[in-house]
Amino acid sequence: MYSVRMRASKGERHVSGAERIVEENEIQDTVLSLLDAGDAAAGKDTAKRLLRHLGVPLLCIDKAFSLLENGESMRGAIIMDLEGERLEPDKNRGIRATRMDITAEASNELRRLLDAAGLSLYYTHISEALVLATKVASVKGTIAELCWSDDPSYTAGYVASKRRGYIRIPHLKKEGDCKGGRVFFVDNIDLNEYINEIEKCPILVDKIAGIQSMPCEFFI
Ligand code: WAQ
Ligand code: MG
């Protein structure tokens, strides 16, 4: 395997660093992804615009970001209503979306599309997150989901919704930051029914609609 290391500095000042150990066929994608020492502030801005576009009030968006940026790590997700109230019964654990998977056929199609888009390195993360987000978006009462990983070396996240699909944002935090999490924004739900559906109803993803670039109106 190969060690790929990146360090960026301006004058004496360290700007960012990251490293991976990867297989030979992954070197090129890895170098590109490390060079893209992207701008988390711009990513957050894009995510906020998307959430506004989906009808999530600014108050909720600000609260959600502050919870994910500063909160303790949770096993599950925050449920937030459109007044900004947290509804999950256990605030330390959150609610866990479970009982979901993807068919072999849809999974192959996803792999083919990600390869073509130069995203094969992220296949596992994307596939897992896409399946989870598809389930969450399909449950009645979900307006949108905001997510980014708590893995310090994984900066990507997404805004997902039934209306606009899974919108991937490569940088929602800086390399090395171990804060992350998920917020399900909901409206008009019966809480017990909602939790029951998220946790207990099985969902099998059997079709991938496609991949496209983010509509430019969401960039700053
Ligand atoms: N149900 C609800 N919340 C969950 C679940 C679940 N099954 N699993 C994780 N979470 C919450 C929990 O608070 C974690 O700390 C947080 O989400 C992040 O989980 O490249 O890797 O597994 O397009 O670190 C998204 C971008 C990556 C993928 C998400 O999440 C891409 C990721 P992680
Ligand atoms: Mg994690």
State the pLDDT at residue 111.
Answer: 98
- Identify whether the C-beta of residue 106 lies closer than 8 Å to the C-beta of residue 208: yes
Calpha distance 95→183 (Å, rounded): 10
- Identify whether the C-beta of residue 133 lies closer than 8 Å to the C-beta of residue 161: no
User: Using CA positions, which residue lies closest to atom 23 of ligand 1?
Assistant: 126
pLDDT band at 204; cut points 50, 70, 90: very high
- Identify whether the C-beta of residue 200 lies closer than 8 Å to the C-beta of residue 171: no
What's the rounded mean pLDDT across residues 168-178?
A: 93
Write down the pTM of the prediction. Answer: 0.86
Return the structure tokens found at 179: 């804060």
CA of 183 to the centre of ligand 2 (A): 14
User: Using CA positions, which residue lies closest to atom 29 of ligand 1?
Assistant: 149
User: Cβ(97) to ligand 1 under 6 A?
Assistant: yes
Say if residue 220 is exposed, middle or buried (CB neighbours under 10 Å; 0-12, 13-18, 19+): exposed
Which residues place a Cβ less than 5 A from the ion ligand 2? 150-151
Shortest-distance ligand to the CA of residue 132: 1
CA of 11 to the centre of ligand 1 (A): 36
**7-11, 49-53, 83-87, 95-99: range with lowest mean pLDDT:** 7-11
- Identify whether the C-beta of residue 145 lies closer than 8 Å to the C-beta of residue 137: yes
Percent of the chain with pLDDT over 90: 77
pLDDT band at 19; cut points 50, 70, 90: confident
User: Cβ(74) to ligand 1 under 6 A?
Assistant: yes
Crossing angle (nearest 10°) for helices 58-70 and 40-53: 140
User: Using CA positions, which residue lies closest to atom 10 of ligand 1?
Assistant: 76
CA of 3 to the centre of ligand 2 (A): 23
Residue, of 110 and 38, whose pLDDT is higher: 110
Nearest to 117 by CA among 49, 211, 53, 208: 211
User: Using CA positions, which residue lies closest to atom 20 of ligand 1?
Assistant: 126
User: Using CA positions, which residue lies closest to atom 33 of ligand 1?
Assistant: 149
The ligand 1 atom at the shortest distance from the C-alpha of residue 125 is: 28
Percent of the chain with pLDDT over 70: 91
Residue, of 97 and 27, whose pLDDT is higher: 97
Return the structure tokens found at 203: 């969902």
User: Using CA positions, which residue lies closest to atom 27 of ligand 1?
Assistant: 149
The ligand 1 atom at the shortest distance from the C-alpha of residue 119 is: 20
Region for 11 from its dihedrals, namely left if φ exceeds 0, alpha if ψ lies in -120 to 50, beta otherwise: left
